[in-house]
Copies of this chain bind each other. A is one copy, B any other.
Amino acid sequence: MEGMPTAQLHDTMDDVATLEDGRRVRGDVSRRAVMERAVNLASVEGLDGLSIGALAAESAMSKGGIVALFGTKEQLQLATVEAARQLFTETVITPALAAPAGLTRLRTLVEAWLDYSERRVFQGGCFFAAATAEMGTKPGPVRDAVAAAMDDWRDFVAGAVQRAIDAGDLSATVDPDQLAFEIIALLDGANAASVLRDTVEPYSRARSAISRLLP
């Protein structure tokens, strides 16, 4: 490992499969296994509540091992946000992109999101709703990473609306950013109410409100 800023490189590279000394490869496998726990722990305890010691215990690993894999706590938090972003993309974005652009894609997107929240893909409900509330008031790289992920998500929804307008499915008078704001607010409202009260009823309310917006 001498001279190689391993932890930094890993932040931007997932698949470093073949290396001569083998340690990097095992590191990647370990990283992925630990990340699965980290992402769920953080969705319940928060990104600040995600402690190195607790993560080590849940991963059957020593604290030193976690530190060796991820570096500082802030680097661990950033890796966790990135892992959550990837899981969110696979679960929500990918199914929507498989549907034809227009109203069909928008409806698929909404259903995929509601399903993602209701199925508790993250143990504590939507990871990013929790991270937004927690980090919104705490300036720094972690907040910036969460904000960037939320910007991407909002832009994706607004883009899907624009495509629906282009396809003639929605009126040209619709403001994509405005509609995206409303859809996201209703989705997040359902997630928050469902997690707090442990009911699925809010998902019906969100579905009903959004279907009025997407005629």
Interface residues of A (CB under 8 A from B): 43-44, 46, 48-49, 123-125, 129-130, 132-138, 143, 146-147, 150-151, 177-178, 181-182, 184-186, 188-190, 192-193, 195-197, 202, 205-206, 208-209
Contact = CB atoms under 8 A, between A and B. Distances in A.
**Top 4 A-B residue pairs of the complex, sorted by shortest distance between their CB atoms:** A185-B189, A133-B133, A136-B195, A124-B137
A133 B192 contact: yes
Contacts of A123: 137
Contacts of A134: 46, 130, 133-134
B147 A125 contact: no
Contacts of A197: 147, 151
Given A137-B195, A189-B189, A192-B133, A209 B178 contact: yes
This protein's copies in its complex: 2
Contacts of A209: 178, 181-182, 185
Chain A interface, DSSP helix/strand/loop, else mixed = helix
A123 B138 CA distance: 11
A49 B205 CA distance: 33
Contacts of A181: 189, 193, 202, 205-206, 209
A82 B78 CA distance: 34
- Between A133, A182, A190, A208, the greatest number of chain B beta carbons within 10 A of the residue's beta carbon is seen for A133
A89 B125 CA distance: 28
Contacts of A46: 46, 48, 134
A215 B124 CA distance: 37
Nearest to A150: B196
Contacts of A138: 44
Given A178-B205, A184-B189, A188-B188, A129 B124 contact: no
A44 B186 contact: no
Contacts of A195: 132, 136-137
Nearest to A178: B205
